[in-house]
């Protein structure tokens, strides 16, 4: 793997940083993207990125993209994540896997309807995958889509639907054939979130942030033309989409680098018992260890992007990067809490909170990193089977 960036790639990074400094000099927390305070900003940023051709830069030109390379996309995502820029994915997955999934499996009508609106920053998405009792074992989902004339009638419940309260559309995983093995009876269906019968209830996480929801479908009628690809082939389409999602974990080391930089600046400026924290050997050691972990996570992420750029198919490599990045973020938040001491428990809004309460909130928010997007346990199984050739347990 060649870890050097070309002059063109470095120029793109500089352009992105200049854009961020002009449009969003102070950044925000990505977990707050769907909050009432940040939501208007996320919408405005999405439109500005669309105007620059960056929002869907890696898409083919025929669908509103620039045909950017996977390395250029990784650079873009890294800079956006470091600065906490909202609105870059048109909800959850709109740009980074809903659009590509439609390019792979959608019909021409679906492509004409949805892709231009995503590329213009106009249509926001969520994904209706997880359910109570169907998370890691997603094939156990029970939401039904029953054919009725020209429609499907959908009944069921989805859980942990990020951004569902802001989304215009949803990619729904539903069971269309209950009489076959569970992997073979699923379909993906595009659902307008304004359709009658959809009920959304907020789920506020431990960090007091509302970006998750539970979504109920009660007799929701969806036109059959919204079926993605072939009926009962949803498992294979969903697997392809999730591989795209997990290949975007460059955001983990980027967020880690941002937190590390803030902690380093904090210990340089803070004294305890008449001595700068930066002179404490324990503090120095902990931050040095974290610098190593952040850099390893970044290299693992760029390895995935490099493999894609060479036409290779990273599989277990994606799982390695996802696990390492998730656990690195949790470790970093724990180190931050140790350095800040009792002050780290103060949340945003307290005038006494070090670093504006960011570390304490991340300590709570990062608990979910090893769960969302595929649990660490499942990822380790993938590494064991596909990477090491070990048998299924």
Catalytically annotated residues: 245
CA atoms of 245 and 101, how far apart (whole Å): 11
Token pair 């938040």 is found at 333
Listed in sequence order, the DSSP H helices in 53-197 are 70-82, 99-105, 108-119
- Nearest-Å Rg of the Cα atoms of the chain is 22
Q: Regarding beta strands 151-158 and 144-148, do their DSSP bridges make them parallel or antiparallel, or are they unpaired? A: antiparallel
CA 219/CA 223 separation, integer angstroms: 13
Let me know: does 229 contact 237? Beta carbons within 8 Å: yes
How far is Cα 262 from Cα 353, in angstroms, rounded to an integer?
14
Measured CA angle at 173 (ends 142, 379), to 5 deg: 90
Which residue's entry shows tokens 């959850």?
Answer: 92
In this structure, the number of other CB atoms found within 10 A of the CB of residue 99 comes to 27
Dihedral angle of Cα 224, 228, 231, 234, to the nearest 10 degrees? -140
- The tokens for 184 are 């073979």
Backbone angles phi, psi at 349, to 5 degrees: 110, -25
Give the burial class of 271: count Cβ atoms within 10 A of its Cβ; 0-12 exposed, 13-18 middle, 19 or more buried: exposed
Distance CA 319, CA 304 (A): 10
Asked if 80 contacts 86 with a C-beta cutoff of 8 angstroms, the reply is no
Backbone angles phi, psi at 293, to 5 degrees: -65, -40
Among the listed residues 286, 391, 261, the one whose alpha carbon sits nearest the alpha carbon of residue 338? 286
Q: Furthest-apart CA pair in the chain: how many Å? A: 77
């Amino acid at each position: 793997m060649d870890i050097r960036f070309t002059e063109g790639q470095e120029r793109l990074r500089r352009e992105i940083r200049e854009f961020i400094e002009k449009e969003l000099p102070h950044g925000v927390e990505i977990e707050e993207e769907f909050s009432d305070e940040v939501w208007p900003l996320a919408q405005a940023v999405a439109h500005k990125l669309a105007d620059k051709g960056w929002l869907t830069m890696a898409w083919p030109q025929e669908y509103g993209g620039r045909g950017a390379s996977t390395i250029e996309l990784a650079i873009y995502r890294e800079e956006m994540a470091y600065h906490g820029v909202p609105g870059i994915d048109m909800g959850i997955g709109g740009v980074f896997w809903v659009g590509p999934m439609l390019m792979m499996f959608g019909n021409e009508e679906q492509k004409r309807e949805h892709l231009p609106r995503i590329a213009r920053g106009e249509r926001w998405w969520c994904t209706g995958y997880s359910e109570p009792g169907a998370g890691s074992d997603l094939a156990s989902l029970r939401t039904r889509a029953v054919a009725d004339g020209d429609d499907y009638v959908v009944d069921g419940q989805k859980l942990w639907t990020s951004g569902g309260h802001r989304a215009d559309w949803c990619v729904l995983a539903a069971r269309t054939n209950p009489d076959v093995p569970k992997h073979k009876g699923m379909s993906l269906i595009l659902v307008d979130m304004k359709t009658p019968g959809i009920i959304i209830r907020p789920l506020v996480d431990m960090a007091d942030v509302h970006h998750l929801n539970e979504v109920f479908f009660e007799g929701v009628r969806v036109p059959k033309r919204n079926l993605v690809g072939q009926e009962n082939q949803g498992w294979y389409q969903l697997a392809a989409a999730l591989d795209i999602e997990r290949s975007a974990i460059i955001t983990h080391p980027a967020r880690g680098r941002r937190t590390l930089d803030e902690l380093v600046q904090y210990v340089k400026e803070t004294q305890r018992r008449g001595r700068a924290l930066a002179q404490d050997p324990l503090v120095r050691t902990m931050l040095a260890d974290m610098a190593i972990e952040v850099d390893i996570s970044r290299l693992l992420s760029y390895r995935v992007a490099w493999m894609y750029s060479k036409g290779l198919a990273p599989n277990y490599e994606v799982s390695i990067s996802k696990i390492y990045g998730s656990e690195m973020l949790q470790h970093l938040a724990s180190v931050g809490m140790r350095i800040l001491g009792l002050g780290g428990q103060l949340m945003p809004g307290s005038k006494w909170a070090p670093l504006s309460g960011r570390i304490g909130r991340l300590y709570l928010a990062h608990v979910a990193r090893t769960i969302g997007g595929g649990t660490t346990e499942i990822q380790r199984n993938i590494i064991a089977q596909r990477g090491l050739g070990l048998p299924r347990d």
